[in-house]
């Protein structure tokens, strides 16, 4: 197994399945992925001022 295959396996898909957590605990994320990305981008841009 080469370095490229290892990197792909580690970083290729960072999506997390929370369906079991939702079902067992009734947990819902406080923000959607889009909302979280927007807040992250805004914070980054503000930090560069």
Q: What is the pLDDT of residues 1-49, one digit of tens each?
A: 678 888 888 888 778 889 999 999 999 999 998 999 999 999 999 999 8
The dihedrals phi and psi of 2, each to the nearest 5 degrees, come to -85, 175
pLDDT (0 to 100) of residue 46:
96
DSSP string across the chain: --HHHHHHHHHS------HHHHHHH----SS-HHHHHHHHHHHHHHHT-
pLDDT (0 to 100) of residue 23:
95
pLDDT (0 to 100) of residue 1:
60
pLDDT (0 to 100) of residue 4:
86
pTM score: 0.55
């Amino acid at each position: 197994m080469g370095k490229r295959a290892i990197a792909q396996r580690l970083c290729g898909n960072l999506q997390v399945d929370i369906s079991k957590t939702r079902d067992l605990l009734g947990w819902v994320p406080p923000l959607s992925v889009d909302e979280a990305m927007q807040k992250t981008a805004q914070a980054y841009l503000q930090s560069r001022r």
